[in-house]
Amino acid sequence: MRHRPATYLEAEEVRAILARPNPATVEGGRDYALLLFLYNTGARVSEAADLCWSDLQLTAPRLVCLHGKGRKDRLLPLWRDTVAALHRLRMNAQPDRQPHVFLNRRGEALSRDGIAYILRRHVQGATQALPTLDRKRITPHVLRHSCAVALLQSGTDITVIRDYLGHASIATTGRYLSTNLQTKRDALETFWQHAGIRPVRAKAWKPTPNLLAFLDSL
């Protein structure tokens, strides 16, 4: 069976999109934190929309608890840059009144459509600097694919990626959680080095049909 290539972004394309929001403004800071969070974690758009401040630990060890499908939670490490962006966002937040992290102009939790609109707006702006973006239909789910591809490119085992993206149940014992989180943290560091926000030289990557099928399943 032939699979259509899954749409994903290369690191330079992600960087071009992340360069569009102005972190010095309240709205720009929210947009930057949101887009970086999606790329860092490979979160589903619904997981980002539902994210609350109580799900985040912004001090070491920096992590987030995402609430996935089937009431399956997973812990994921966060880049320092992601934590810094979330810290800036929290300075203007009132968690006691609105527990959600990503809010619209009315102070309500962003909807899935709202998140998609924010991404689309910044993609349109980034297209001026990087015309290749114009040939792709980029949705929040494409950032999830992009996270998976960056992890694959960095040599992370596919079973770790399945767990990272919420395709495997997480054990409840403390010992497993500790080992599991450290494995993800190692994968995240490799991900950062290979396809992080700071420019790096990366080799061309050609996915196999099996990996394309895996991306389609996300």
Residues tagged active-site: 44, 69, 141, 144, 167, 176
CB 161, CB 148: distance < 8 Å:
yes
Burial class (CB in 10 A: 0-12, 13-18, 19+), 34: buried
CB 20, CB 125: distance < 8 Å:
yes
Residue reference for tokens 């109580």: 54
From the list 53, 41, 64, 45, the residue with the least C-alpha distance to 91 is: 53
**DSSP string over 123-183:** HHHHHTT-GGGGGS---HHHHHHHHHHHHHHTT--HHHHHHHTT-SPPP-SHHHHHHHHHH
CA distance 58 to 84: 8
Judged by DSSP in three states, 67 sits in strand
Length of the chain: 218
CB 200, CB 193: distance < 8 Å:
yes
CA distance 131 to 143: 18
CA distance 169 to 125: 38
